[in-house]
Structure 1
């Protein structure tokens, strides 16, 4: 297992081309994130080319910036799943399309499934990676452990037959607490990022993607993400994963106190 500063994690191998728009955005975002966070990356390297799904934990609104910079410094363009409505917004839609972000439908399960299949084909065709938050929103767990996952990341990986890579990070809550305000002082707070080995989905591949199969495979994914976070936090997660439905909580949007 390797560990390096986020700025020292280059792998000398052919890499996926990173479009000009990515370089333009990175020239602004990377230095700004560097002012508020000192990112340390450990664990596995991202493959230098080829399609994959990266699944990180999620507990702060600033997480996407940290994950994006970490993925960029690992040598791959950071692409996220984004609401399809955002692609219709002037300028923003152009930027999303230009950087190869993946639209996701929320109108119906059938529309979402069709779009997932289309997205998986595009990822394979262009050898792209995509970042999908399996929890779908900020965790509802009081201690910020990963909660019950949704099946989108697993479905995408199985549809495309591509690696599903777990990731965990810890430290962003000191920069921006869950549903809190951004804290700019002191600068360069430490954030640890760990990349795991691809989740073994061999027992699920080649089988009909039923809901029960997707839920079981998602449990494997969330176990892997939680194990990485346990290593970063040096403590054990609760034996039972937090389920918002059991606690009468809504699963999307802001969590009310």
Structure 2
């Protein structure tokens, strides 16, 4: 694994997005506890915008990934907001917490409902200057070597709807804390290295306004997954397979999706 220097957010005159009190409460618990398990080092953290809307698209290979990503985003000065299944917003207490933290609901009932929520979500992100984290693979990668597999269109649809920056992210090392599909956390040795890289926004400017066209969505998704893969290759110091893994071609079901 390539060891990289830890970076901190740049200090400029422009202010970062305010981080609501509820995030501070969670951070005072989660960040120190996770710090006992992992030493998170961030590379190219300045690629994450200081303010304004963005879509952050990370790779996904263990169940603990969301904590890794949330801690990294928090340390870079932005509140970590995820896309979450619409049904979760109807759960008492949990739903209120999701709404209070500005998480983004995603419909899974029909394509028309999903399309309406994509429009509403993108408009809300722009209006409030918020970012959202979307796993483009939709679930843990099925690729045997834990490389990014074929992506879904949820992240690029959001980005293309309103021209929001689409930012790739990759991290590596979380599998030493929790194995893929694992349920147990490895406590020893403590503070395992997890390296995070944030890439420059993916250029999909030529596809903006074409979010309803399958060919444009496929092209944008391919560009995004390629950008994530390049970041991960650098972190792992090895090359990914030439052909991206497609679960359907290998008789695998894609379950546990977090986005359409």
Q: Which residue of 2 aligns with 1:104?
A: 106
For residues 1-257 of structure 1, what are the structure 2 equivalents within 5 Å?
4-5=5-6, 8-9=8-9, 11-12=11-12, 13-45=14-46, 46-180=48-182, 181-207=184-210, 209-253=212-256
Q: How far, CA to CA, are the matches of 1:130 and 1:94 in structure 2?
A: 18
RMSD over aligned Cα atoms: 1.4
Cα deviation, residue 5, structure 1? 2.9
1:52-106, Cα deviation, whole Å (9 max, x unpaired):
0000000000000000000000000000000011111111111110110000011
Q: Count residues with an aligned counterpart.
A: 251
Q: How far, CA to CA, are the matches of 1:224 and 1:207 in structure 2?
A: 21
Q: How far, CA to CA, are the matches of 1:77 and 1:253 in structure 2?
A: 24
Q: How far, CA to CA, are the matches of 2:175 and 2:111 in structure 1?
A: 33
Kept in 2: contact 1:199–1:221 (CA 8 A): yes
**Which portions of structure 1, spanning 4 or more consecutive aligned residues, are displaced by more than 2 angstroms?**
3-6, 8-13, 206-209
Alpha-carbon spacing, 1:50–1:4, altered in 2? closer, same or farther (3 Å): farther
Q: How far, CA to CA, are the matches of 1:208 and 1:30 in structure 2?
A: 37
Unaligned 5+ residue runs, structure 2?
Answer: none
Unaligned 5+ residue runs, structure 1?
Answer: none
Cα deviation, residue 211, structure 1? 1.4
Cα deviation, residue 253, structure 1? 3.3
Q: How far, CA to CA, are the matches of 2:85 and 2:210 in structure 1?
A: 28
Q: How far, CA to CA, are the matches of 2:211 and 2:86 in structure 1?
A: 26
Q: How far, CA to CA, are the matches of 2:40 and 2:211 in structure 1?
A: 40
Partner-residue secondary structure (3-state), 1:149: coil
Kept in 2: contact 1:10–1:75 (CA 8 A): no
Alpha-carbon spacing, 1:208–1:253, altered in 2? closer, same or farther (3 Å): closer
Cα deviation, residue 209, structure 1? 2.3
Q: How far, CA to CA, are the matches of 2:211 and 2:172 in structure 1?
A: 36
Q: How far, CA to CA, are the matches of 1:208 and 1:15 in structure 2?
A: 29
Q: How far, CA to CA, are the matches of 1:76 and 1:14 in structure 2?
A: 11
Cα deviation, residue 10, structure 1? 5.2
Q: How far, CA to CA, are the matches of 1:84 and 1:109 in structure 2?
A: 14
When normalised by structure 2's length, the TM-score is 0.93
Partner-residue secondary structure (3-state), 1:245: helix
Q: How far, CA to CA, are the matches of 2:122 and 2:256 in structure 1?
A: 26
